[in-house]
Amino acid sequence: MAKINILYGSTTGATEAAAQQLATLLGAEAKPIAAATADDFDADLVVLGSSTWGYGELQDDWVAGIALLDAVDLTGRKVAVFGTGDSVGFADTFVNAIGILADKAIERGATLVGQVPAVGYSAVESLAVRDGNFVGLALDDTNEADQTPDRIAAWAKTLQASL
């Protein structure tokens, strides 16, 4: 069985809840990035999650998390990203954090998996949208909470198929 590690930053609990649901579906461990070590990036699939704050920034715990990510070699590893945001109130920066995480993972040599079509969301402007797709799973618990469980379940199947 493939080893899957989920590392996330969460302030209000929405990203943590998504990480826990994803962990249950994938048979993985979910760990706050604040408690992570370099060894946590040693997996067949590393899933990185963050909420987006301020003017499109990573969640605060990712300040140290990015430094940790900068110290690991992800060559040959599959990485997926997910995040939470507000697609109505912050339409121009919706889930920017996952775009930042995706870029960093690619910079470190990872193969990005788990892109999701950017349809059915209010926001269309984001650092996380490339060629009509989100770089990973975008969740809006503020305006579309009813869709979150199904979006996570569908994405988990996509991630399993990538292994």
Q: Is the per-residue pLDDT at 32 higher than 70?
A: yes
Average pLDDT over residues 66-94: 94
Query: What one-letter code names the amino acid at 84?
Result: T
Q: What angle do CA 122, 123, 125 make, to 5 degrees?
A: 160
CATH number among 2.40.10.10, 3.40.50.360, 3.40.50.300, 3.40.50.620, domain 4-144 = 3.40.50.360
| Alpha-carbon distances, residue 120 vs 40, 106, 128, 132 (angstroms) | 33, 26, 15, 12
Q: Which residue has the higher pLDDT, 30 or 92?
A: 30
The reported pLDDT for the residue numbered 123 is 63
pTM of the predicted structure, to 2 decimals: 0.96
Residue-wise DSSP of 25-68? HHT-EEEEGGG--GGGG-SSEEEEEEEEETTTEEPTTHHHHHHH
Q: Domains of the chain: which residue ranges? A: 4-144
Average pLDDT over residues 27-50: 96
In tens, the pLDDT along 41-62 reads 999 999 999 999 988 999 999 9
